Amino acid sequence: MATSVSDSASIPVDVVVIGGGPGGYVAAIRAAQLGLSTVCVEMDKTLGGTCVNVGCIPSKALLTSSEHYDFAQHAAATHGIGIGSLTLDLPTMLQRKNEVVAQNTRGIEFLFKKNKIMWAKGRGTLKAGNVVDVHAVGATGASHEKIASYQAKDVIIATGSVSIELPFLKFDEKRVLSNIGALAIPQVPKHLIVIGGGVIGLELGSVWKRLGADVTVIELMPTILPGMDADVIKEADRTLRKQGLDIRTSTRVSNGGLTESGAFVEVEHDGKNERLEGDHVLVSVGRRPATTGIDAAALGLNLGKRGEILVDDQMRTNLPHVYAIGDCVPGPMLAHKAEEEGVIAAEVIAGKKSHMHYKSIPNVVYTWPEIASVGLTEQQLKDSGRAYKTGRFPFSANGRARSLGDATGFVKFVADAKTDEILGAHMIGPNVSELIAEVVLGLEYRASADDIGETVHAHPTLSEVTKEAALATLGRALQI
């Protein structure tokens, strides 16, 4: 039984981090490394936040398992491998996913112990004067008695984000699913309806399609993956349709609800109405900043139009000694972006001259083929009026890709027309989530296409496609 704490019993500490997701736990670790006494307040039963528990990590575990299953079904024979009678043990697959998550959460707990970080298990509430109260959280998620209180010299808010609901499709995680429920469907659905053709919708839709479900993806915008490079979108759309995803763009969901055996949605496209029924509906129309435990109005904390906490390039809010990072501040909602912001906040608190910049943050979609991008798209450069040039090279002309039996896609560069400085790179193909790192480093150092094109890449590797695409930007690709 937790013991309640009086208002006068605040424990002095250097830094309190509210939230133990990727941004929060990394901020706590960096602060501790810098010699600051650090407390991380997290109300979930495990550390790691959405990413580790119900996002990045479990989805990648299922993506990998479903890719193996799909390979066994459709590609093993071409390698001379006979599978025989193939079966799917979904409970074992889901259990493996859970074990992968557990390994990661235990790893974070180990890092906290190693760095002498206190994990305050409860819901954190920020009060005036940088006092953070911690309340016990019941089984229903309601706050109970106060179990601790900390007087912080500096506070880092890392409260993350939550999935956006549709007013007529409230999450029950049984039939109407967010990413949480979509990672734990107990049996392969006959028909899964996915609302939203962005990263989450396409990744989780791909998982269940490979495992045998019919999957319909409904996207309001004219294309899937809005905001990405147009050439990549075109290739992704073609490939995912070929894999069997029923993709419906420029389609609006006007209504939805439950049926006796599942759920339905009503959609509009080109003036025509249609009712679709499925076992489950995955609503993946975006996420919004969460500010649990932060009464912005009472504190005088400045927020943006979406409820995001406004910060400068050192992650400072308008409140003295209060910082904010991750999904609850402006910018892309990416775990690696949150981690870097956490490092910046901790270093600024420790007196270092760190600051955050966003031009070199990669974005990855873990469908197969994978999609990765960094920097500006060709359309953004067109709109800006800046003179640019492009170069691309296909995986179909790469020996390693051919030997893998997966030569779909390409690497594309956009560079300044005069200086050859790399302004962006956009990839779709095998393992591009790893290949993008080379270009991210190049952007950090303001590399030119020539810098990458003249760098020796091992042969035969997929990375040679990056080299050849850089050379193509200069008009001198060698292998095509």
Peptide bond into 12 cis (omega under 30): no
Q: What is the number of other CB atoms lying within 10 angstroms of the CB of residue 208?
A: 23
Tokens 């929060």 belong to which residue? 24
- CA dist., res. 326 & res. 342, Å (int): 8
Q: For the sheet containing 370-375, what is the strand order? A: 363-365, 370-375, 422-429, 410-416, 388-394
In this structure, what is the dihedral angle of CA atoms 286, 289, 290, 294, given to the nearest 10 degrees?
Answer: -170
Q: Which of 351, 358, 356 is nearest to 313 (CA)?
A: 356
Count Cβ atoms below 10 Å from residue 64 Cβ, excluding itself. Answer: 17
Query: Taking the CB of residue 294, how many other CB atoms lie within 10 A of it?
Result: 23
Q: What amino acid occupies position 474?
A: L
Among the listed residues 74, 355, 357, 459, the single catalytic one is: 459
Sign of CA dihedral 443, 448, 449, 455: negative
Q: Which residues are CB-neighbours of 15 under 8 A, at least 6 positions away?
A: 28, 31, 36, 37, 38, 39, 152, 153, 154, 155, 156, 346, 349
Is 112 within 8 Å of 28 (Cβ atoms)? yes
Instruction: Classify residue 30 by its DSSP letter.
Output: H
Give yes or no: 79 in active site: no
**Catalytic residue set:** 459
